């Protein structure tokens, strides 16, 4: 089966001084949940916006491959992209107010999304909106449809945004920290909803999160991002069982047993901060924070295979952790 989404060597720069995404490659299959994890500032949101074609004008995007099914997104016109967006590809933004217009009621915004892509009456669109609000756990959807975004709490706005993204039953949903603002009960409800949709519709989910509880619960595959690069990517089980990149090991340090991760468990904290990377940067961007760094880490860093579907970007051999433990 051909992949739903394929990105190869995706790059995004802002002006001449910031390389926010540096050669990201990933493939998403039907029904798969791919979690993108990493500290704040690693380039997760910019990667998502680059796929959606929603970067700001100051950004420059390039890619060897950027495909959604048979569509070459590097060549698709803005009109063509707008036809896919909201319909077959949808995104839940990190900040709800990015996609909600304060001047229109929830109902009219949700109906508009649906009517833009489907030939249906406004009444049908509003019925669909009410049904989706109910599915994300909003009671009295009729009342909410008549309200404006500023009349809703942050949690409600987030849920409205999630239902809006689901209006057209997208095949690919990119969700950028979709449940961060929500309490644990609602969060569980939304994650269950997403899992049900995956079963029912074969939805592919690119889920950006820094909550390892969510990763352990949802991910089929995990890609760890650092300073604009995917530094390790593996099936979720393999990543938790045998994290190989020193950065991944730092993030996962707080997990004693993968299946017993507590909800809301923060990523392990590693001393230092994510550096800003200029386009001409050479070597391993993690070297200032890495306990294993060696002089050669300032030169080219190879992408290595730990197993056939597990790779990492580091000079260390795959079994270095065993040597470290010995």
Ligand X SMILES: Nc1ncnc2c1ncn2[C@@H]1O[C@H](COP(=O)(O)OP(=O)(O)O)[C@@H](O)[C@H]1O
Cβ 95 to ligand X shortest distance, Å: 11
Of 13, 25, 33, 45, the one binding ligand X (CB under 6 A) is 45
Residue 50 found at the interface with ligand X (CB under 6 A) = no
Residue 252 interacting with ligand SF4 (CB under 6 A):
no
Q: Which range, of 35-43, 115-123, 125-133, 292-300, touches ligand X by CB under 6 A?
A: 35-43
How far is the C-alpha of 220 from the C-alpha of 4, rounded, in Å? 15
User: Which of 45/244 has CB closer to Mg ion?
Assistant: 45
Contact segment (CB under 6 A) with ligand SF4 among 39-47, 61-69, 270-278, 311-319 equals 311-319
- Does 125 interact with ligand X (rule: CB under 6 A)? no
The answer to whether 287 contacts ligand SF4 (rule: CB under 6 A) is: yes
Residue 54 near ligand X by CB under 6 A: no
18 binds, among Mg ion, ligand SF4, ligand X, none (CB under 5 to 8 A by kind): ligand X
Query: How many residues bind ligand SF4, per CB under 6 A?
Result: 12
Find the part of the chain contacting ligand SF4 (CB under 6 A) among 131-139, 164-172, 204-212, 290-298. 290-298
E strand residue ranges, 110-269: 172-176, 204-208, 221-226, 229-235
Residue 20 as a binder of ligand X (CB under 6 A): the answer is yes
CA atoms within 13 A on the CB side of 152: 28
Rounded to 10°, the helix 106-117/154-166 angle is 20
Binding ligand X (rule: CB under 6 A), the pick from 11, 22, 34, 44 is: 44
Closest of 298, 300, 297, 299 to residue 320, by C-alpha: 297
Task: Report the distance separating Cα 275 and Cα 283, nearest Å.
Answer: 13
Q: 149-154: long-range contacts at Cβ-Cβ below 8 A with a sequence spacing of 24 or more?
A: 149/96, 149/97, 149/100, 149/101, 149/102, 149/106, 150/102, 152/106, 154/96, 154/181
Which residues neighbour 129 within 8 Å (Cβ) at sequence distance 6 or greater?
106, 107, 110, 111, 114, 141, 145, 163, 167
Nearest partner of 306 among 298, 291, 316, 293, judged by Cα: 316
Closest CA to 209 of 242, 185, 169, 182: 182
> Shortest distance, CB of residue 301 to ligand X, whole angstroms?
20
**HEC readout, 48-78:** HHHHHCCCCCCEEEECCEEEECCEECCCCCH
User: Does position 286 bind ligand SF4 by CB under 6 A?
Assistant: yes
56 binds ligand X (CB under 6 A): yes
Find which of ligand X, Mg ion, ligand SF4, none residue 316 binds, CB within 5 to 8 Å per kind: ligand SF4
# residues near ligand X by CB under 6 A? 14
Residue 129: CB minimum distance to Mg ion, A: 27
250-289 binders of ligand X (CB under 6 A): 276
Widest distance between CA atoms in the chain? 68
Considering the rule CB under 6 A, would residue 168 count as an interface residue with ligand X? no
Q: Which is nearer to ligand X, 43 or 107 (CB)?
A: 43
Binding site for ligand X (CB under 6 A): 14, 18, 20, 38, 40-46, 56, 58, 276
Contacting residues toward ligand SF4, per CB under 6 A: 246, 284, 286-287, 290, 292-293, 297, 301, 314-316
């Amino acid at each position: 089966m051909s992949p739903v989404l394929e990105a190869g060597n995706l790059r995004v720069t802002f002006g001449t001084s910031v390389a926010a995404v540096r050669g990201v490659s990933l493939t998403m299959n039907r029904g798969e949940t791919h979690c993108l994890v990493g500290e704040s500032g690693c380039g997760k949101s910019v990667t998502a916006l680059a796929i959606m074609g929603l970067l700001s004008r100051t950004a420059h995007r390039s890619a060897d491959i950027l495909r959604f099914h048979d569509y070459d997104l590097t060549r698709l016109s803005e009109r063509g992209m707008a036809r896919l967006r909201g319909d077959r590809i949808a995104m839940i933004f990190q900040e709800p107010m990015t996609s909600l217009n304060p001047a229109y009621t929830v109902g009219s915004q949700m109906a508009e999304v649906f009517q833009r892509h489907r030939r249906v009456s406004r009444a049908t669109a509003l019925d669909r909106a009410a049904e989706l609000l109910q599915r994300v756990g909003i009671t009295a959807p009729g009342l909410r449809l008549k309200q404006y975004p500023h009349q809703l709490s942050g949690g409600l706005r987030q849920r409205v945004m999630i239902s809006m993204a689901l209006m057209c039953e997208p095949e690919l949903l990119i969700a950028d920290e979709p449940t961060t603002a929500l309490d644990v009960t609602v969060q569980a409800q939304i994650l269950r909803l997403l899992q049900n949709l995956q079963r029912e519709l074969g939805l592919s989910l690119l889920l950006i999160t820094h909550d390892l509880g969510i990763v352990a619960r949802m991910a089929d595959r995990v890609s760890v991002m650092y300073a604009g690069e995917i530094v390790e990517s593996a099936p979720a089980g393999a990543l938790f069982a045998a994290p190989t990149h020193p950065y991944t090991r730092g993030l996962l340090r707080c997990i004693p047993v993968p299946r017993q991760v507590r909800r809301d468990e923060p990523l392990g904290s590693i001393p230092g901060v994510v550096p800003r990377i200029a386009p001409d940067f050479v070597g391993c961007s993690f070297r200032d924070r890495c306990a294993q760094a060696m002089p050669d880490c300032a030169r080219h860093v190879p992408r290595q295979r730990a197993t056939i579907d597990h790779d990492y970007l580091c000079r260390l051999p795959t079994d270095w952790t065993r040597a470290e433990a010995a």
